[in-house]
């Protein structure tokens, strides 16, 4: 395995590889518990449609002739305001790096790509619901607890 990698915007044609990584991510997170029989096919269709339509954006880290990590971004529109520009907020999710490729800068580079894109688009806020394990990397990337956020479940 090489340590050289590149980060690029994901395309709809990456959907099957992204779905496979999503499956690995969830298996790691849930310890291989019960799952539907063919989750990758459904996930690949969802990812392909969203990336193809531009409703979602994603970045991938490529190394050793494959996608080894990813992060997704959904730009959430806000209701227009009379006193400010109507810039979206960004929901960051599905951030994962293959366990064999961790601690090599992949995650940092993926989050940097999302933050750069957000800055170019004038996005005011990026938000994420991190797992306990991922909090340190998000903090290193500049994410902080919100001043005030309410949640209803």
The domains of the chain, with CATH numbers, are 6-140 (3.40.630.30)
Q: DSSP code of 58?
A: E
CA dihedral 56, 47, 94, 23 (to 10 degrees): 180
pTM for this entry? 0.89
Condensed to tens digits (0 to 9), the pLDDT of residues 56-71 reads: 999 999 999 999 999 9
User: Under a CB-based contact definition with an 8 Å cutoff, are residues 1 and 63 in contact?
Assistant: yes
Determine the pLDDT at residue 55: 86
Residues 92 and 107 sit within 8 Å (Cβ to Cβ): no
pLDDT in tens, 100-140: 999 999 999 999 999 999 999 989 899 999 988 899 999 99
Which of 90, 67, 69, 66 minimizes the C-alpha distance to 78? Answer: 90
Q: Check if the beta carbon of residue 14 is closer than 8 Å to that of residue 85.
A: no
């Amino acid at each position: 395995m090489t340590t050289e990698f590149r980060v690029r915007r994901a395309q709809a044609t990456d959907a099957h590889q992204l779905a496979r990584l999503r499956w690995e991510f969830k298996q790691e997170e849930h310890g291989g518990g019960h799952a539907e029989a063919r989750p990758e096919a459904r996930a690949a269709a969802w990812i392909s449609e969203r990336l193809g339509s531009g409703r979602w954006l994603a970045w991938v880290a490529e190394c050793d002739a494959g996608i080894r990590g990813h992060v997704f971004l959904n730009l959430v529109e806000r209701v227009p305001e009379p006193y400010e520009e109507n810039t979206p907020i960004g929901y960051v999710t599905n951030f994962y790096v293959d366990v064999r490729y961790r601690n090599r800068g992949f995650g940092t580079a993926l989050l940097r790509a999302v933050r750069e894109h957000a800055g170019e688009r004038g996005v005011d806020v990026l938000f994420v619901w991190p797992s306990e394990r991922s909090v340190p990397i998000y903090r290193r990337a500049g994410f902080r607890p919100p001043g005030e956020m309410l949640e209803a479940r």
